[in-house]
Amino acid sequence: MDLVALTTFADVAETGSFTAAARRRGLSKAAASRQVAALEKELGVLLLARTTRRLTLTDAGRRVLARARRFQDEMDALTEEAGEGLTAARGRVRMSAPLAWAQRVLAPALPDFLAAWPGIELELSLSDRATDLIADGFDLGVRIGTMPDSSLRVRTIAPVYLMLVAAPSYWLARGRPVRPEDLSLHACIRYANTEANSIWSFTDADGSLVRVPVRGPMCVDNGEVDLPVLRAGLGCAVLPDFLVTADLAAGMLESALCDWNAGERILHLLFPPGAGRPRRVQVLADWLVERFG
């Protein structure tokens, strides 16, 4: 395979333009177009759907692009290892992360990272839904929860604790639950990105598990949206500690069932498969673990 053509194709896909990719590669637009056409011919697939107004990756193009990015990372890692790691970390790092966690935890710390590593260009994609790191070409991702078996490499950062919370006015009006079973009579705001969002689980000090069917006025896939509803006294919710710490300290929310464990999730770093990891990616990964571990 023509590796130069593969790199040119990746640039075209990322910039959405043969002109921009050619400029990045120091080529003419016609030369860049010929390289991509030759690559498509060699692979026997159409990588880009071309119209007069835009370029769109085909399914085959997305798969090839993910591999091309992995290849480039391997080459970058090899170059850095050959230079004994003396070169400054630089270049773009693409990371996906949960939206609420990024807003509450990551964003306040980002100025420190960017100031410490001015050669790194950080591209963040934020969503509470799990993205496909390989297909979407991410260098690493942050995930909260149980990791399914996959080819992804995993590095643990820290636990995230869940808490049952509501406004003081809500507990006053509806009564503070004594046991998890009491929640079947409450207005429970549920998190949509879990399979059992209508079943809340609690564990007592002896390790006994209680599972409670719950219902309520809202089911949402982002915990930040819960907070105004909770503050208004319209329900209770089980939320991660990083979302509710400030409201608890300010007295806007109060926790309940404190003798019961509402569960915990693990904050993970995920990496695509492969032995090589460019220094710019390793630098970010180490910083995340040191800062939030």
What is the residue extent of each domain of the chain? 3-82, 93-293
Can 3-82 and 93-293 be said to share one CATH topology? no
pLDDT, tens only, 99-133: 999 999 999 999 999 999 998 999 999 988 777 77
Instruction: Look at residue 1 in the predicted model and tell me its pLDDT.
Output: 58
Name the more confident of 19 and 196: 19
Instruction: Look at residue 213 in the predicted model and tell me its pLDDT.
Output: 94
| CATH tag, 93-293 | 3.40.190.290
Whether residue 187 is predicted with pLDDT greater than 90 in this model: the reply is yes
Instruction: Look at residue 289 in the predicted model and tell me its pLDDT.
Output: 93
Instruction: Look at residue 86 in the predicted model and tell me its pLDDT.
Output: 46
Whether residue 224 is predicted with pLDDT greater than 50 in this model: the reply is yes
Assess contact for 181 and 231: CB atoms under 8 A. Answer: no
pLDDT, tens only, 227-276: 999 999 999 999 999 999 999 999 999 999 999 999 888 999 988 776 56
Q: pLDDT-derived band of residue 198, with 50, 70 and 90 as boundaries?
A: confident
Q: pLDDT-derived band of residue 163, with 50, 70 and 90 as boundaries?
A: very high
Instruction: Look at residue 7 in the predicted model and tell me its pLDDT.
Output: 81
pLDDT, tens only, 93-108: 989 999 999 999 999 9
**3-82, what's its fold?**
Arc Repressor Mutant, subunit A (1.10.10)
Cβ neighbors of 213 (< 8 A, separation 6 or more) are: 184, 198, 199
pLDDT, tens only, 48-93: 887 767 788 888 888 888 877 777 766 766 665 555 454 567 888 9
Q: What does the mean pLDDT of the chain come to?
A: 86
